[in-house]
Structure 1
Amino acid sequence: MFPFKTALNASTLFPFRLNVLEQVEAAAKAGYEGIELWVKDIEAYLADGGTAEALTECLTRTGIVLANAIAFFKWADEDEAVREDAFAQAEREMRMLAALGCCGVAAPPFGSVEHVTLSDMARHYARLAALGRGIGIEVYLEFWGRASKLSRLDEAIAVQQESGVEGAKLLLDPFHMYTGGSSIDDLKRVNGSGIGIFHVNDYPADPPRATITDADRVFPGEGVAPTAAIARQLYDSGYRGFLSLELFIDDFGGMTADEVAAKGLAALKSAYEVEG
């Protein structure tokens, strides 16, 4: 059975240079239930004459949920001035997202964070989460496998817990688990209610972990990720939310955007099936 919801991260379609309306239409045509849009794409669409009303209408008409947005504000930067600018940016962007009916926004360790303690990061996250909730947006704490801090799931759990934010949620990703050295045992520490969204991808054995990049990600089931074990653990944790396909493949070998979206949905559902 497949007990999760399906979403498409717009990064998967980046090679096709679609605007946000076209990204939503592609997700709907393939049969996804939700989408993750990138703030930069939303802003580019608006700057090019698009309107928030038209995007909202598109989402409503297609029935696609704006499950999360990918943003980059330096909320945990070690420099206070940079951090304050980031919070101003975060407020602007989250107000825009809330007006579109967006559910959440990603908060990765973007910026200069190497010398920031996890305790300070927890304090900054608590502030960001409070700002988001005041606007109507959940802030999903994300770890990056290559980050100088907050590169592992255990660090994200520590920040989540120390923040004191009731119901704080994580953004999880098998590729970042792999590159940062996180394990299934780390995932077992996470209750499903503490997951905001789960990015779906796979990765090959070569290039090796030390040199693999985002561009090397492959469709679910085509690599060596412990996908079956991950799916089982997500299910056992009680998670029933969105699995969002996030790839950064530069060239799909002649496939169209619609074909890539459809292949991704089929691969996602097949790879993340769990037994009764």
Structure 2
Amino acid sequence: MISRRNVIKSIGLGSGLLFSSNLIQASPKVTESEFRYCLNTSTIMGQKPGLKGYLEIAAKAGYDGVELWIRDLQEYIEAGNSVNSLRMLIRDHGLTFENAIGFAPWMVDDASKRKAGFEQMEREMGLLADLDCHRVAAPAFGVDAPLDLFQAGERYKNLLDLGRKIGVMPQLEFWGAFPHFYHLGQVLMVAAVADDKDARILPDVYHLFRGGSGYEGLKMLSGNLIEVFHMNDFVMHIPREEQQDKDRVYPGDGGAPMQQIIGDLKAMGGRKVLSLELFNPDYWQQDALTVAKTGLEKMKSLVTNVVGT
């Protein structure tokens, strides 16, 4: 059990709120970030290309890796395909399985539901390990009341312990429109309470805007806290509180300060996976390969403008 007294002492509430070194920079950085490019298959899920189609499109478009949804993996296997054949299929397309998207209720207050959520996570992590994927998104799915962030931190610590045992590490995710876990400050609190060297968060351009976090907080984070960063943008003509996932646009096509965001990610150090995650129904009406290529070109252009060639 993690005591509140120890957490308060560790984050230095009496001396300027200094988080642990995994969260906030304490010294100048020596190396800058390296970027890899990833396709989250939500971007083209409306075209329904199927799992093989997702991989073929991502490879043809020129991505380094993919973020796949666990439900798609399960459907593929339930259709009679083997886990080994799927692992080889990903490898044969020259892709890295960077992260998986799942929805296990591991953070909820209800003990029986939480137990089921951890059991679901364990099964899904086992599948991902067999597919050579070593990360999984860990959102606050199923939470239906205000969170005690200390308790949430303890649960995240337990989830990290489970991940280490299996070899698949949970990336703590927050959703900007979710009423109970929507702000960068909340996710940093939970990560700090976990007090674990393997704590990681999964930010998103849209969610940082939608939840009111803004982008200045990224300057406070050290490189190893972020491994995957969801890329997209928000539109200017819809009020922030009314924007939805479907309103996301290509990175650089909206109002986000993309040069600042890329610059801060670059300055952090460490390897960063920039993953294009869109749910735009207008893009779903277009050719999937064209959409995937367009998104990759826009991400690479943004990085080139900041980092250079």
Bin of the TM-score, shorter chain as denominator length: over 0.9
Aligned to 1:44: 75
Query: How far 1:48 sits from its partner (Å)?
Result: 1.7
Query: How far 1:196 sits from its partner (Å)?
Result: 2.5
Counterpart of 1:214, as a letter, is D
CA–CA distance in 2 between the matches of 1:152 and 1:112? Answer: 15
1:135 matched to 2:153: no
Query: How far 1:3 sits from its partner (Å)?
Result: 4.2
Over 3 Å counting, the alpha-carbon distance change for 1:159 and 1:59 in structure 2 is same
Aligned to 2:193: 162
CA–CA distance in 2 between the matches of 1:253 and 1:99? Answer: 31
Over 3 Å counting, the alpha-carbon distance change for 1:113 and 1:192 in structure 2 is farther
Aligned to 1:197: 228
- 8 A Cα contact 2:46 2:285, kept in partner: no
Over 3 Å counting, the alpha-carbon distance change for 1:168 and 1:253 in structure 2 is closer
- 8 A Cα contact 1:200 1:220, kept in partner: yes
Identical counterparts, % of pairs: 38
Q: 3-state SS of the aligned residue for 2:74?
A: helix
1:116 matched to 2:162: no
- 8 A Cα contact 2:45 2:284, kept in partner: no
Larger of the two Rg values belongs to structure = 2
Q: 3-state SS of the aligned residue for 2:119?
A: helix
Counterpart of 1:167, as a letter, is D
CA–CA distance in 1 between the matches of 2:121 and 2:134? Answer: 15
Q: 3-state SS of the aligned residue for 2:39?
A: strand
Query: How far 1:208 sits from its partner (Å)?
Result: 1.2
Query: How far 1:113 sits from its partner (Å)?
Result: 4.7
Counterpart of 2:203, as a letter, is L
Counterparts of 1:75-224 in structure 2, within 5 Å, are 75-224=106-255
List alignment gaps of at least 5 residues for structure 2: 1-32
- 8 A Cα contact 1:30 1:265, kept in partner: yes
Q: Deviations over 1:21-72 (max 9, x none)?
A: 2211111111100100000111111112222122111111122000000010
CA–CA distance in 1 between the matches of 2:194 and 2:266? Answer: 26
Query: How far 1:254 sits from its partner (Å)?
Result: 5.1
Query: How far 1:239 sits from its partner (Å)?
Result: 3.9
Q: 3-state SS of the aligned residue for 1:105?
A: strand
Aligned length: 275
Counterpart of 1:222, as a letter, is D
CA–CA distance in 2 between the matches of 1:5 and 1:108? Answer: 23
Over 3 Å counting, the alpha-carbon distance change for 1:257 and 1:119 in structure 2 is same
- 8 A Cα contact 2:143 2:180, kept in partner: no
Counterpart of 2:230, as a letter, is H
- 8 A Cα contact 1:15 1:251, kept in partner: no
- 8 A Cα contact 1:71 1:106, kept in partner: yes
Q: 3-state SS of the aligned residue for 1:119?
A: helix
Aligned to 1:8: 39
Over 3 Å counting, the alpha-carbon distance change for 1:224 and 1:93 in structure 2 is same
CA–CA distance in 1 between the matches of 2:156 and 2:244? Answer: 27
Aligned to 2:103: 72
Query: How far 1:167 sits from its partner (Å)?
Result: 2.7
Query: How far 1:252 sits from its partner (Å)?
Result: 2.5
RMSD of aligned alpha carbons: 1.5
Aligned to 1:53: 84
1:269 matched to 2:305: no
CA–CA distance in 1 between the matches of 2:165 and 2:96? Answer: 21
Query: How far 1:148 sits from its partner (Å)?
Result: 2.4
CA–CA distance in 1 between the matches of 2:67 and 2:276? Answer: 9
Aligned to 2:26: none
CA–CA distance in 2 between the matches of 1:90 and 1:195? Answer: 21
Query: How far 1:237 sits from its partner (Å)?
Result: 1.0
TM-score by length of 2: 0.86
CA–CA distance in 1 between the matches of 2:96 and 2:284? Answer: 29
Aligned to 2:12: none
CA–CA distance in 1 between the matches of 2:164 and 2:127? Answer: 14
Query: How far 1:83 sits from its partner (Å)?
Result: 0.4
CA–CA distance in 1 between the matches of 2:164 and 2:245? Answer: 31
Query: How far 1:183 sits from its partner (Å)?
Result: 2.1
Counterpart of 2:294, as a letter, is K
